Structure 1
Amino acid sequence: MDGQWRRFAYSGVLALAFPVACAAGEDDVFSRAASAHDNVSPALLYAVALQESRRPLDGGLAAPWPWTLNSPARGPQYFPTRQKAEQALRELLSADPEANVDIGLLQISWRWHSDRVDNAAELLDPEVSARVGAAILSEALRSTDEVLLGLGRYHHWQNPWVSRRYGAEVLSLQRRLPGELFDDG
């Protein structure tokens, strides 16, 4: 899974799918995860992944990164392999089993969503992260009639201002995705 990935550069952002290309008609992790929810599109889920685990790359580009951890103690960390991310995650959780750490492609909060998987390391699997992230996003969107607020509740539920700002950032990313990346582009 660490291997071959096709990339699509656009507007200062690099579109990256796991583990196969994200092109119209191809079955990808975002399409599979979004298909279980009538209010989540693959492009919207991908935009959330960009917002959550965006890793800076050379040339001013960025990509969502599946082996990302983010905690108040250490900040965002991007690991070259799943194994290295798992090791760092084990260290974090051995010090505090209920640590405030966001994990994986969709940066699932271990503190708030640990009940959705059997163990934290599962969230470093892009398929699991996308599936759990799509479910959380669907629930957040259903919680309100206001799109920006619903999108933002994926990231921050309590503060409507922070939620709306986050929602606007995600929509901006989604609008910049090339139409051929997903059928719903």
Structure 2
Amino acid sequence: MRASPATALRALSFAAGFVLLALGATAARAETDLSAVCERAAVEAAANSGVPVSVLKAISLTETGRNRGGDVRPWPWTVNMEGKGVWFDSREAALAYVYEHYKRGARSFDVGCFQINYKWHHENFASIEEMFDPSANARYAAAFLASLHAESGDWETAAGAFHSRTPEYADRYKAKFAEYRARFVHEDGRPLVVTPPLLAVAAAQPSAGGYVGTGDITPRVNTYPLLQGGGQPALGSLFPTGTGGGIGLFARGGAG
């Protein structure tokens, strides 16, 4: 028996609705995975460094927290360009933005899950692309936090110094850090399941022959000196709070 036009239309509408729901669910999963990239990188760095996972997750959230539907989560493609914080939907878009400003002379900018400052720390990475790598970004942040903790013996104090050596800035940062750390402190001491963070963002990688660094962003042989036996950064914070754009997103209003 042939279906009536009305029945066929209802069936078509149902099928179209099902497809839209499926596409929406896929998009939601992709976004959730992207939001989890920094969290996975924090777990990986914690497992390899001994820095509590709650500390690393709280730092990343304080630095890059993005409010999506009322839920604040860290975001890997975050850039603070000379005081202006921007979130991007893809690594490629974030790189394009950074290179555009780099070519005009910008050097004080922060990138990635832990907002590593290019001006003061680029020599510890092979390229800007590597600075954006969630794993590399997290490893460097963990090493620096460990060195700061060795000074004070207190993770909250280390977090404040991670942001700034100036008490005014450090104290404000510590308050937000402590608030966020409370969300994750129950994870400390538990077995850490390390999931490679980049698996979730493979589709966002630029195509071959994409961005090529110029000038002082060419590859360097001696990467990660903090991880190679006692090297110390020139300044006391990954995110200087003096002139320029060295402060993190948190200091400019944070999530939004």
Query: Normalising by the residue count of structure 2, what TM-score does the alignment of the two structures yield?
Result: 0.57
Aligned equivalents of 2:188, 2:147: Cα separation in 1: 25
Aligned to 1:171: 178
User: 1: CA distance between counterparts of 2:85 and 2:66?
Assistant: 9
Query: Is the counterpart of residue 111 in structure 1 residue 119 in structure 2?
Result: yes
The answer on whether the counterparts of 1:49 and 1:106 sit within 8 Å (CA) in structure 2 is yes
Closer, same or farther: CA 18–153 of 1 in aligned 2, 3 Å: same
- One-letter amino acid of the structure 2 residue matched with residue 153 of structure 1: A
Query: What secondary structure is seen at the aligned counterpart in 1 of 2:184?
Result: coil
Q: What displacement does 1:114 show?
A: 1.1
Deviations 1:161-185 (A, max 9, x none): 3213312321210102384698389
User: Residue 75 of structure 2 corresponds to which residue in structure 1?
Assistant: 65
1:88-144 CA distances to partner (integer Å, 9 max, x unpaired)?
1111211225x1101011101111211210112212221111111111221222232
- The structure whose Rg is larger is 2
**Counterpart position of 2:130:** 122
1:183–1:123 Cα change, 3 Å: same
Alignment deviations for residues 41-68 of structure 1 (CA, whole Å, 9 cap, x no partner):
112101100000111212x221100000
* Count of aligned positions: 165
Q: Partners in 1 of 2:90 and 2:58 — Cα distance?
A: 22
Gaps in structure 2 of 5+ consecutive residues: 1-26, 193-256
Q: 1:49 to 1:131 in 2, by over 3 A?
A: same
Structure with larger RCO (C-alpha < 8 A, sep 6+) = 2
1:95 corresponds to which residue?
Answer: 104
CA distance in structure 2 between the aligned counterparts of 1:4 and 1:100, rounded to whole angstroms: 31
1:104–1:125 contact (8 Å) kept in structure 2: yes
